[in-house]
Chain A
Amino acid sequence: MEEKADLYLWENLLNGDNNALSDIYKRYVDDLYSYGLKISGNESLVKDCIQEVFIRLMANRKNLVAGSNIHVYLFKSLRSRLLDEMRSGNRRSEILNTKTRFEEEENSPSVEAVTIQNEEQSHIKKKLQTALEGLTEKQREIIFLKFTEGLNYDEISTILGIDKASARTLLYRTLKLIKANIKMKGLILFLFMRYFKK
């Protein structure tokens, strides 16, 4: 479904339909924004780069091939633009003092009357979030592409500019690391201890 709509939009864009541009933009702006923030965490840099990506898309549209995957094209362009900008160093000072989403999203203190299930659930959530925070930028990026965006290995490897096997390995290692960091076995004991403390 989604892919068909994308192909149709792409077709229209190549034929010079300006509505297609704004449709594509609206469809992907938040995804691009979320992805950009995974790479740099600097909001204004990400916004600038998104603008640039679309301006270049319009400028180059005559050279584009029908049937390309818009999602992948946009993500790949944004990524290389962001990395270029970050490498050029202009923004480095800003990049340092920005936060990632996981840090911002502290769990609100639980209410007095929590059921055991809720307590367990929020404990699980917290553990997973801590595990995700511990990842490197690159690892977080692949988690985002695979799970938040739901892209497949073909698409991910194109965006990251690596081969499919490397993408698989990167993801596999990342998941293993997450699993090691959450140490699921400790959970039950932990819950009991908290229960008796009360």
Chain B
Amino acid sequence: MENNFLNSEFTELITNDDFVRMVKDAQDTDKLLNDLVMQCPQNSNDLKYAVEFIRIAREDKQKMQTADSERILKNIQNNPVGKDGRTILFRRLANSKVAAIALLVLAIGALVMFSKQDSLKQFAHKNEVSQNDAMIVLSDGSKHILNENELDINYNSKEGEVVVQKEESVVATIKNEPKNKREFNEVIVPYGQRQHVVLNDGTSVELNAGSKLVFPAVFSGNNRTVYLIGEGYFDVTKDSNRPFIVKTDFIDVKVYGTEFNVTAYKDEELASAVLVEGSVSVKQSDKILKKQALFIKPGEACFYSTVNEELEIKDIDVDLYISWKDGIYNFKDVPLSYVITRVKKYYNVEITVENADLLETKLSGKLLITGDIEEVIQYISRAVECRYEKPKEGNYFLSKY
């Protein structure tokens, strides 16, 4: 072997294509290094560094997790823009250069949105959240009861079908071929349950207890609008041409591709949007022309108080608001009354507290909500130092010692 470059110093070695190829092609680089040092012992130091450098560089690759990699590929293949290259260019022009036309379109768009939104809202309030069963209501009005908790409901696996899975295995396949694709579907999650929905664009929504999500089986047109009652954690598939809008009774949240949590329970004083990543804007519902949208950044939350009807942005600890999706309620300095409203919803039980001052007791900490309700009640009563009774199944009574 003619390797007259072996006497070169470190930087020359690693920029020598022959040397790099030799290290790259070697089955056993340790053995190769030994051979090289034998051939050229006076340069052993530089050789060792050079071989090690090439080795480090070649190993410096990160592998994306398979699940992520597959999800992204699916998003790419399902992206409607891909089918027609013109969409992007056309919109970009409308946005930046022809402002007057854009404004006009916007105004008309707002009107259309008003009427559409009303129908969405009406629809959302037609079927109230049931106390007992989780269900999917298809656009033809047919109801499909879900017998299990924590299912994956997938609108994105095959067109015209809804696939229901429990931990990867298929529980049910429901035909869903509406005449009009824009008609709404809904998933209703009763108190005491949690369900996971994958929408037709790949967006994932974790729905908390006592929630309802209304959405079209297939998103069409230039935005993706859903209606939420209750609480949901959204991981939105990025699509810079079609914003994703979560409408609720109180606030509307608009995003392009991001992770965030929206809370809008009818019986709670505060509705909130908490941003995990990306950027979203929030505005009050039904006030499109009056109020400006507020933008929130990761680590911030936008609260809407149903009492004084105001929006407010605050820095928050994101984890406190999203940990429910991992089976933990994370509380920080909140009164017992709040903890109880949450636990009641989550376990679908009745909890009564005898003493009013007990309700004001401030609590902080993590509550594991994957276990038994009995444990949770025990944990709470220990924390606030009270005793509890269970007059009957699903009924708890807390009182001072």
Contact = CB atoms under 8 A, between A and B. Distances in A.
Interface of A: 18, 21-22, 25-26, 29-31, 33-34, 37, 44-45, 47-48, 50-52, 54-56, 58-63, 90-91, 93-94, 101, 120-121, 124-125, 128-129, 132, 143-144, 147-148, 150, 171-172, 175-176, 178-179, 182, 184, 187
Contact of A37 (B11, B62, B69): B62
A132 to B, nearest CB: 7
A144 B306 CA distance: 53
Interface stretch (B43-51, B141-149, B218-226): B43-51
A128 B49 contact: yes
A101 B60 contact: yes
A58 B60 contact: no
A88 B81 CA distance: 24
Interface string B277-306: 111000000000000000001110000000
27 contacts: A30-B63, A34-B60, A47-B68, A48-B238, A51-B76, A51-B238, A58-B82, A58-B85, A59-B85, A59-B88, A61-B85, A63-B85, A91-B277, A101-B60, A124-B48, A124-B49, A129-B56, A132-B56, A147-B54, A147-B58, A148-B58, A148-B60, A150-B20, A172-B11, A179-B11, A182-B49, A184-B46
Given A22-B73, A44-B259, A44-B277, 13 more contacts: A26-B73, A30-B64, A52-B240, A55-B81, A90-B297, A93-B298, A101-B62, A125-B56, A129-B56, A144-B57, A147-B57, A150-B24, A187-B45
Nearest to A174: B11
Contacts of B48: 120-121, 124
B10 A184 contact: yes
A59 B87 contact: yes
B15 interface: yes
B63 A55 contact: no
B69 A29 contact: yes
A64 to B, nearest CB: 10
Contacts of A101: 60, 62
A25 B60 contact: no
A1 to B, nearest CB: 13
Contacts of A62: 85
Contacts of B77: 18, 21-22
A97 B31 CA distance: 40
Contacts of A178: 11, 53
Q: Which of A25, A51, A90, A172 has the largest count of B CB atoms less than 10 A from its CB?
A: A51
Nearest to B82: A58
A112 B81 CA distance: 59
Contacts of B45: 184, 187
A50 B277 contact: no
Q: Which of A44, A62, A120, A144 has the largest count of B CB atoms less than 10 A from its CB?
A: A44
B161 interface: no
Chain B interface category by residue count: 35 or more
B190 interface: no
A184 B77 CA distance: 51
Contacts of A18: 77
Interface of B is mostly: helix
A34 B62 CA distance: 5
Interface string B1-31: 0000000001100110000100010000000
A148 B48 CA distance: 18
Contacts of B69: 29-30
B257 interface: yes
A58 B63 CA distance: 24
B75 interface: yes
A51 B286 CA distance: 34
Contacts of A91: 277, 298
A60 to B, nearest CB: 6
B28 to A, nearest CB: 13
Q: Which of B24, B79, B82 has the largest count of A CB atoms less than 10 A from its CB?
A: B82
Given A55-B81, A148-B57, A25 B88 contact: no
B297 A93 contact: yes
Contact of A175 (B15, B64, B87, B240): B15
A55 B11 contact: no
A52 B56 CA distance: 30
B58 A54 contact: no
Interface in B105-156: none
Nearest to B237: A51
Nearest to A44: B277
Contacts of A171: 15
A56 to B, nearest CB: 7
Contacts of B99: none
User: Which 4 pairs of residues, A with B, have the shortest CB-CB distance?
Assistant: A147-B57, A58-B82, A175-B11, A54-B76
B97 interface: no
A37 to B, nearest CB: 6
Given A44-B277, A58-B82, A176 B60 contact: no
Contacts of B61: 30-31, 34, 148
A78 to B, nearest CB: 13
Contacts of A172: 11
Contacts of A51: 72, 75-76, 238
Contacts of B82: 55, 58-59
A126 B278 CA distance: 37
